[in-house]
Amino acid sequence: MSDAGNSGGRGAPWAENAFPAIGRLRRYRRADLAGDLPGGLIVGVMLVPQGMAYAMLAGLPPVVGLYASLAPLVVYAAFGSSRHLAVGPVAMLSLLVLANVAPLAEPGSAEYVQLVLLLTLLAGTVQFLMGLARMGFLANYLSHGVITGFTAGAAVLIGLSQLKHLLGVPLADGHSAPLLAWEASRRLSETHGVTLAIGLAGIGFLVMLQRRAPRFPAAMLFVVMATLLVYVLGLDRQGVAIVGEVPHGLPPLSLPHVDAAGAASLVPAVLTIVFIGFIESIAVAEHIATRERYRVDPNQELRALGLANLAAAFTSGYVVTGGFSRTAVNYRTGTRTPLASVVTAAVIGLTLLFLTPLFYYLPRAALGAIVIAAVAGLVDFGAARRTFRVKKGDGIALVLTFLLTLGAGPEAGVLGGVGLSLALYVWRTSHPRITELGYVESAGVFRSVERYPQARTSPGVLLVRIDAALYFANMGFVEQWLRNRLHADHDLQWVVVDMSGVNDVDATAAERLVTLMEDYRGHGVRFALAGTKSPVRNLLRRVDWPEHVGAPRNYASIQEALGAIGAAEPREG
């Protein structure tokens, strides 16, 4: 690695952070080119068919996918903080575009393209502003379970959306899997055999090669083969739908038409695209950055992706982000700097200038096959199984997110999933583990009396460990537990709480603790704390303790607490 990321010492650090390309160009060495050139070329050859396929998935003319693969890549290379991220059209965002814009305009129509440009402009603006407002932390609120469930659901939706190209039957778009499947099954008899054959052959070929030789540009080879096949056998005259004329030349400049009504109707789409696009991108960027020991700045990433999307909006493209599979290839081919992305953009530019006439006979089913092969691996049963094994509740959240995405569409899936996983966390922390401890003489430690029945307890002393930050939602549970114990043991005189697991206490918990101790004091029961962390100790000092109760004494250890209260003290451990 020739580049120490954003931490270069010379020049204004502010400028270098906002514009990482400055430092990179200054430090660029000839040796870096040996990695960047082949990496950029391979990704470019991957991106030509993928870009066209994803644009078709998004309900756009295929060439829009190529337009989106030129300027945004150069812009990201200039502003991005990741050195390996391959930006461009991706399947997930293309689905989100289709799901959100298709209800507003006929896919492929001029109006549709205009709305997509507006959507891209808004998404870019929001991302850029969120980056300025340092809101990159929002990405943290998506759990793996939600991502896995959502991705699997979206993959199935994407696959179903390509059935029309694969079967050669015009089917309505939509974002409810049961409806899509029902619609397809109803018209299965109209299937165009040759089209289906091309599609299935492509899926088999691509899935196989993807697994065995991930860096081999199989999609490009398949595109060439399928195109030749259609051209030579004249399959288009037998009803195989083809891409047709792909305009040539560099992307025309575009000025998105901003109207308030259109913008308002796109708000949910914009937010989902911003959120999902960022998650997909930052996850892979951070993973590689950690391996290569440099840092990506989530906020700089938001700004860079925002600028890339703005570039797409003004050069006839559509929404882009850092893609998972192309970034992996980019990294594995030994790419060293974002210059590789500039090389990729050059491949796209040359394709647009000279090669578009060659795509005339490219069958649409081939592009559909490329999409399906790309998302086939996204249904990750292994991850689901692992999640269930580690934590059942998280597994259930995963499955519910999957079902919600399938049934109610991607927006509902993401929002529902985030709500679900937060609710699950709150639920868990509101039922904390409370353990009654006793002294295990053989080991010299305090352990659960339930798991170690031989553990010794002192009469009149209840020794408990609470494993949770105390806050409003779990104090009721803690109080109920203590109340039950108080009710069961009328000779109780001391409650000693091992506070080592209490990471925090909020105002409600502090106040309820006062009331609890006051109520118990009326029955001659007193409280002592052991091992309270210093921030919690400081907080408890700021609480108003009534004089007749007094703040609970805190002891460094359970032993010390038991000694001080004069309990029949177990031997020192």
Residues binding a copy of itself (CB under 8 A): 7, 137, 139-145, 286-287, 289-291, 293-295, 386-387, 389-391, 394-395, 421-422, 425-426, 428-430, 432-433, 467-469, 471-477, 479, 483-484, 486-487, 500-501, 503-504, 506-508, 510-512, 515-516, 519-520, 522-523, 533, 535, 539, 542-544
CA atoms within 13 A on the CB side of 346: 13
Complex with a copy of itself: residue 240 or 414, whichever CB lies closer? 414
CB of 544 to a copy of itself, least distance (A): 6
Q: Under DSSP, is residue 237 helix (H, G, I), strand (E, B) or coil?
A: helix
CB of 336 to a copy of itself, least distance (A): 17
Helix (H), strand (E) at residue 12: none
Q: Which two tokens stand for residue 205?
A: 């070929």
CB of 128 to a copy of itself, least distance (A): 21
Complex with a copy of itself: residue 62 or 531, whichever CB lies closer? 531
Cβ count within 10 A of residue 259 = 12
What's the rounded Cα separation, in Å, for the pair 114 and 257? 7
Complex with a copy of itself: residue 252 or 382, whichever CB lies closer? 382
Give me Rg for the CA atoms of the chain.
30
Query: What residue type is 150 in one-letter code?
Result: F
Complex with a copy of itself: residue 173 or 380, whichever CB lies closer? 380
**Would you say 325 and 374 are in contact if contact means Cβ atoms under 8 Å apart?**
yes
Complex with a copy of itself: residue 8 or 501, whichever CB lies closer? 501
CB of 485 to a copy of itself, least distance (A): 12
What's the rounded Cα separation, in Å, for the pair 128 and 133? 9
Complex with a copy of itself: residue 141 or 354, whichever CB lies closer? 141
Residue-wise DSSP of 421-434: HHHHHHHHHTS-EE
CB of 555 to a copy of itself, least distance (A): 14
Complex with a copy of itself: residue 119 or 139, whichever CB lies closer? 139
Complex with a copy of itself: residue 27 or 485, whichever CB lies closer? 485
In the sheet that holds 526-530, the strands lie side by side as 445-448, 433-440, 461-467, 494-498, 526-530, 553-555
**Would you say 421 and 145 are in contact if contact means Cβ atoms under 8 Å apart?**
yes
CB of 297 to a copy of itself, least distance (A): 10
Complex with a copy of itself: residue 245 or 467, whichever CB lies closer? 467
What's the rounded Cα separation, in Å, for the pair 269 and 118? 11
CB of 410 to a copy of itself, least distance (A): 19
CB of 562 to a copy of itself, least distance (A): 19
CB burial of residue 115 (10 Å; 0-12, 13-18, 19+): buried
Residues 6+ apart with CB under 8 A from 34: 334
Complex with a copy of itself: residue 277 or 395, whichever CB lies closer? 395
CB of 507 to a copy of itself, least distance (A): 4
Q: Residue 369: name the closest of 153, 159, 73 by CA.
A: 159
Backbone angles phi, psi at 216, to 5 degrees: -75, 130
Complex with a copy of itself: residue 5 or 62, whichever CB lies closer? 5
- Displacement of CA 477 from its chain's centroid (Å): 33
Q: Under DSSP, is residue 322 helix (H, G, I), strand (E, B) or coil?
A: strand
Q: Which two tokens stand for residue 123?
A: 């998404």
CB of 392 to a copy of itself, least distance (A): 9
What's the rounded Cα separation, in Å, for the pair 510 and 6? 44
Rounded to the nearest 5 degrees, what angle is found at the Cα of 120, between the Cα atoms of 117 and 125?
A: 130
CB of 245 to a copy of itself, least distance (A): 46
CB burial of residue 297 (10 Å; 0-12, 13-18, 19+): buried
Q: Which two tokens stand for residue 391?
A: 């934590």
